[in-house]
Structure 1
């Protein structure tokens, strides 16, 4: 199968990038299944029903999330939809699902959403052990296992990749909004990248208005961040399991891109 995973989509500019890029990219690369991290879809923080449906309308199969899952109360209108996931290692009574099985082209695709614990400041169960528990449930049912590992620390992401090597088809990191250049097949053929990157405003600080972030660093005062708008960058990772092809994608608005 051919998978496309899309990095943290930030606000209106990020949604516009997905709508303009994804349909033609799916056609050119013959993509079978698309996973998108959407915890920042709604004005940079959280997910609403309208932003969720907007993204699904252009061919996204599953929307994963992270520490901003519940930032918008409107998310509870859609949190039980099977096409949206929240981190599986949140406390057991957290609303929503942390993993699910999807049928596509005659195959069963499992998508698991996990969150790292280093620097995240949330009450989280161990993502390593949580994966083990989920793997026991799905290993005989899933043809492919895709994991969004939403975390701050690269070391935690890499350690997790090696921990599940040979069990997961693809592990892609999210949360830092900066695409890393360490995409690779691990020794037991799990495809891996530490962070798939940002889909949002190119001239920004991780998708946010740069002036606001600079002011925060200079003054140390509380600043309400807003997503930047303008020219976009679309960042993603492509995996072709049949031919063992793994490729980072980075498309800047207004610039030519060769696939």
Structure 2
């Protein structure tokens, strides 16, 4: 099975990159399944219903979330009926789900969406919840398990890797929007601290630079905005998975104005 994972899609620039490239990439790289983090897809904050349908039409099979999962209230009733996840470690009774098991090429694939503690809304322990979910899935015979760990700090993501390496197919970090260069495969588990955003690459984490600069220079509040004109990027990790083990992986960076870049995973 070959799976693609797209990092945080930020606003219209990110959506436009999927529109321009994802169908072609699915065909070129023979992708069987595509996961994308969509929690910033609507104007940088949350995911609206129209934009969710838009991303599915471009070739995403399931969308994951994070701390902005609840920003667009219209999406909340759709969490129970569309292939859209929110973090698993919200308390019992919260709408939606954090785990989805689907059939792909005559085998099951499980996607887990979990959120870190540091700098995030109040949630339950991500390590205990993820570990419990993985144990339950493995007991049910699900071999291919992919985790979107939406977290702020590198230490949390790295610790999750240490906890679950060899037990899941992949742990892919999202949320910081800045791609890291530590793509690796350890004991059959693909890991990267952060996949990186898909959207504007010449601002500040996908946003126009003016508001962040005002905040840092003056300490005064300023509203973040998606830039109207920008240079764009699409970032995706592509993994080959056999019997639940990642056997090969590479990072793909697609630009709107230059050649794409591929970076091979290090096999530890």
CA distance in 1, matches of 2:136, 2:33: 22
CA distance in 1 between partners of 2:92 and 2:259 (Å): 46
Counterpart for residue 196 of structure 1: 195
2:244 counterpart of 1:245: no
Which whole-Å deviations, capped at 9, do the CAs of 1:139-189 have from their partners, x for residues lacking one?
123230000000001011001011001111011000000000000012x22
Contact conserved, 2:234 with 2:253, CA < 8 A, in 1? yes
Shift, 1:257, TM fit? 2.4
User: Following superposition, which runs of at least 4 residues in structure 1 exceed 6 angstroms of deviation?
Assistant: none
In structure 2, the partner of 1:128 is 127
Q: Which residue in the other structure is 1:181 paired with?
A: 181
How far, CA to CA, are the matches of 1:172 and 1:107 in structure 2?
A: 21
1:11 equivalenced with 2:11 (yes/no): yes
* Residue aligning to 1:2: 2
Q: TM-score, normalised by structure 2?
A: 0.93
> Does the CA-based 8 Å contact 1:82-1:100 persist in structure 2?
no
Could you tell me how far 1:251 is from its partner in structure 2? 1.1
2:168 matches 1:168 = yes
Q: TM-score, normalised by structure 1?
A: 0.96
Superimposed CA distance per residue, residues 205-251 of structure 1 (whole angstroms, 9 cap, x where no aligned partner) = 00010111101111111111111243211111111124822111111
- Mind listing any 5+ residue stretches in structure 1 that lack a counterpart? none
Partner residue of 1:22? 22
Q: Distance in 1 between matches of 2:166 and 2:75?
A: 34
Worse-matched range after superposition: 130-139 or 92-101: 130-139
CA RMSD in angstroms, aligned pairs only: 1.3
Structure 2: unaligned runs, 5 residues or longer: 263-268
Number of equivalences: 257
